[in-house]
Amino acid sequence: MARRPLHAGVALLAMAAMLPPDGDAFAQDVERPSVNLYGLPGVIDMPGAMVQPDGQMTASFSTFGNTTRRNFNFQILPRVSGALRYSNINNWDGDRELFDRSFDLQLQLLNERPGWQPSLALGFRDILGTGLYSAEYLVASKTVQRDFTLTAGVGWGRLAGVNAVENPFCAVADAMCDRASETGEGGKLAFDSFFRGEDMGFFGGVEWRTPIDKLTLKAEISSDAYSREERDPDAGFERKSAVNVGAEYRIRPGVTLGGYYMYGDTLGLNIVISGNPYKPPVPQNLGQGPLPVNPRPADGNRSTAWAADPQARETLIEAIGKALDDEDLTLEEIKLTGTAVDVFIVNRRINQPPKAIGRTARVLAIGMPYSVETFRITPVEDGLPTTTLTINRTAFENQINRPDAGQESWASVGVHGAVPGLYGDDVWRRDVYPLVDWAVLPVPSIYFFSGNEGFKPQLAAEFRGSVQLNRGLSFSAQVRQPVLGVFEEDEEEREVERSLPPVRRDSSFYYAGWSPKLIRLTGDYLFKLDRDIYARASAGMLERAYGGVSTEVLWKPAEQNWGLGAELNWVAQRDTYSMFGFGEYDYDVVMGHASLYWDTGWYGLEAQLDAGRYLAGDWGATLSVQRLFSNGWAVGAYVTRTDVSEDDFGEGSYDKGVLVTIPLRWATPFETRQTISGDVRSLSSDGGAQLNIANRLYPTIRRLQKPRLEESWGAFWE
């Protein structure tokens, strides 16, 4: 059964190895605690209570005996971390190979402080999986004399297999002694298992940061019995001891290699690669610096007579256009009066929107006659005038050399929704069409399959190109060519009887083989109905599996932190074996959603609620929550519930997954707006399946709305 791809994480996180150390070795270790074999902070196989830096992302591969785990961990909030895991166990509970997906959540109750206060964490392991690793724990960690970290905890479920005492919650209610021992379909919170079971186990460990730079030694006592892993005689693993010992070496910041002797029987390996949106792996200040701006002299000529001279206006517009072009900005429209200037600009390369706005303001401050006091700057995204920022020139000149000019200058900027276009006989409009833009990018992918294809990576080259015929009207193409690794078709999957049409479960077929894959080929028209209402119409090959027509409308005032949208689509299912055919499935559907968008303003969190009809014709709703960082990183999760029953949906019970977007600017020393994004979910099933539209309206404009601009406004001066 095909799993969804995760485009991005592994290759770009590997570049975190280039991160320079900031501080002494001990500070680095304390700031970024070691990761256990489950992908969360811990000793070896047992959890710990140390917390990763906010926003930290970690990809790890661990193996010992007959168990292999691939983990993705994200520090969601300063006190909340989560981990996705894909495990396979040979000779599980007999002679079969088991593939399992699980999700962990850890909550930081206390942070370590000088003196006797340790860090304290409450953890829930495998809360949405099948229950194979189901456990809860309360754990404390304390660093002693800079070199030693001691960990001790109590656990339930898997963590109560040995070193156990009677569960004290049994005294509260007899039902607390009952805990399901069999694995299920997964996908549901097992509230009826939390802190239950006859026993409660104890575990603990110690870490020693040795005098040898970057080398850490570890030892622990485990409370996991591993009884089902060792049950089969051919398992190749026997738990002979509760003690695990090992060593870890930090090859360089962001890359750690660990080796262990596990349970008195076998060797273990852990490879950890990590990165952080706040810490780019390469210098971010390369390239040309901002233009210098000097305040206008008090006795300068502020006459507005120039505004009535057509030749002076033409010369000025030409100079402004050329200066903006040198900053990787394109002048779309401009309107001049004696005291104000309005410009519509297209940002071609600069990743941070406030930086593009600041570079525009500098060009205007240098080029405009002294009489011009007001700059109104409107960024245009995919043909959509988004937000107009009004900048007072005098305030700008007074702030430019102040050391505290970053966020302080935001108070002097006006923000409101942009008009669809500038009007009047004196408006200059660029007429250099068509405009061609293209890029070729490496796209790393990870696909999760069932059967004997449990985990398969791929590297592909992806071409992205567009031709813009006028503002808002464009044609776009996206083609992917596998370079390393190829996904195979699994014909057995097509023979499985299902109650729903195969709208997503055949996803692996669309990416199988070495032939080029036409991901997208569309004509798109994006436009505004008024200051606050956006619209989109798209037609063609909308995504790899579907072609058709898609329409959308969005109401989102620029100053407001919430908006409303609606989307309606008619699509037909494409052939898996050809670029343009539609005959293989003979399936089409009308589907769409009403949407509510909310920027919470808290730690960059955004929530989105979609309700409507999905690709399989089912009705329901999707709730997604993403954390957006000012540099363009985004990590989030979503869950969908529809009128498809859990039995009809199958394994996983309902659709859910994790979303990741990584801006290439984070990993490159030059400006680019390209991103790599994807999602990873427990499996590709047909219930709750959405259409993958590349240019939906809210993601197109959200970084230019007032809440996001304010968050990243410090880049205005870069």
| Residues pairing with 389 in the sheet | 377, 415
DSSP for 596-625, please give it: EEEE--STTEEEEEEEEE-TTS-EEEEEEE
Q: Which of 222, 254, 275 is the last residue of a domain?
A: 275
Whether residue 293 lies inside any domain: the answer is no
649: closest CA among 237, 283, 298, 186?
A: 186
Distance between CA 441 and CA 203 in Å, rounded?
47
For the segment 546-560, what is each residue's pLDDT rounded down to a tens digit? Answer: 999 999 999 999 999
**What number is the average pLDDT over the span 630-651?**
86
Provide the domain limits for residue 100: 23-275
Token couple for 404: 């505290």
User: Could you tell me the two tokens for 455?
Assistant: 């985990």
Please, is 343 exposed, middle or buried when counting C-beta atoms within 10 Å of its C-beta (0-12, 13-18, 19+)?
A: buried
- Residue-wise burial string across 289-308, b where 16 or more C-beta atoms lie within 10 A, e elsewhere: ebeebeebeeeeeeeeebbe
Q: Which two tokens stand for residue 430?
A: 């660029």
The stretch 599-623 carries a mean pLDDT of 96
Biggest alpha carbon distance in the chain? 95
Tens digits of residue pLDDT in 693-711: 999 999 999 999 999 999 9
Provide DSSP, 485-522. --BPP-HHHHTS--SS--SSTTHHHHTBSSS-EEEEEE
* Residues 350 and 265 grouped into a single domain: no
pLDDT per residue over 646-667, tens digit each? 777 766 677 888 888 889 888 8
Same domain as 581, residue 698 = yes
| pLDDT bracket for residue 486 (50, 70, 90) | confident
Supply the pTM of this predicted model: 0.87
The predicted pLDDT at position 17 comes to 31
Asked if 173 and 261 sit in the same domain, the reply is yes
Instruction: Give ∠ CA 530-534-539 in degrees, rounded to 5.
Output: 135
User: How confident is the model at residue 120, as a pLDDT?
Assistant: 97
Domain-located, residue 14: no
User: Does residue 498 belong to any structural domain of this protein?
Assistant: no
101 found inside a domain: yes
172 and 49 together in one domain: yes
Band of pLDDT at residue 495, cut at 50, 70 and 90: low
Q: What average pLDDT is seen over the chain? A: 87
- DSSP designation for 430: -
pLDDT number for residue 55:
92
Q: What is the pLDDT of residue 1?
A: 33
* Residue partners of 208: CB distance under 8 A and separation at least 6: 147, 148, 216, 217, 218
The answer to whether residues 140 and 252 belong to one domain is: yes
The answer to whether position 15 is within a domain reads no
DSSP letters, 217-281, are EEEEE-----TTTT-STTS------SEEEEEEEEEETTEEEEEEEETTTEEEEEEEEEEBTTB-S
pLDDT, average across residues 259-286 = 90
Residues 112, 434: Cα–Cα separation, whole Å:
60
**Pairing between strand 374-381 and 340-347?**
parallel
- Does 49 map to a domain? yes
Secondary structure (DSSP) of 120-149: EEEEEESSSS-STT-EEEEEEEEEETTTEE
Would you say 483 and 460 are in contact if contact means Cβ atoms under 8 Å apart? Answer: yes
Work out the number of other CB atoms within 10 angstroms of the CB of residue 127. 22
In a domain, 8, yes or no: no
Q: Please check whether residue 204 lies inside any domain of the structure.
A: yes
As a whole-number percent, the residues of the chain with pLDDT over 90 amount to 63
| Pairwise pLDDT comparison (74 vs 486), residue with the higher score | 74
3-class secondary structure, 182: coil
Residues 6+ apart with CB under 8 A from 147: 26, 208, 209, 210
Q: Which of 225, 259, 275 is the last residue of a domain?
A: 275
State the burial class of residue 451 (Cβ atoms within 10 Å of its Cβ: 0-12, 13-18, 19+).
exposed
- Average of pLDDT values for 265-276? 94
What's the start-to-end Cα distance of the chain, in Å?
48
Residues 6+ apart with CB under 8 A from 216: 29, 34, 207, 208, 209, 210, 247, 248, 249, 250
- Domain end (from 256, 275, 294): 275
C-alpha count within 13 angstroms, C-beta hemisphere, residue 420: 9
Nearest alpha carbon to residue 662 among 4, 8, 11, 6: 8
Pair 51, 164 in one domain: yes
Residues 269 and 315 in one domain: no
- Nearest C-alpha neighbor of 368 from the set 301, 299, 298, 289: 301
**Domains identified in the chain, total number:** 2
What pLDDT score does 340 carry?
A: 97
**One domain for residues 402 and 259:** no
CATH code (residue 142):
2.40.160.40
b/e 572-595 (16+ beta carbons within 10 angstroms → b): ebbebeeeeebeebebebebbbeb
Residues 355 and 405 in one domain: yes
Q: Give residue-wise pLDDT tens across range 9-47.
A: 333 333 333 333 333 333 334 446 889 999 999 999 999
pLDDT at 3 over 70: no
Measured CA to CA, the distance from residue 677 to residue 694 in angstroms comes to 11
Q: Given this model, what pLDDT does residue 446 score? A: 64
Do 248 and 315 lie in a common domain? no
Shared domain for 326 and 233, answered yes or no, is no
Is it the case that residue 487 has pLDDT exceeding 60?
yes
Q: Are residues 110 and 229 in the same domain?
A: yes
CA gap 666, 632 in Å, rounded: 9
- pLDDT above 60 for 54: yes
Cβ atoms of 10 and 25 within 8 Å: the answer is no
Place of tokens 């770009």: 12
Give the pLDDT of residue 521.
Answer: 98
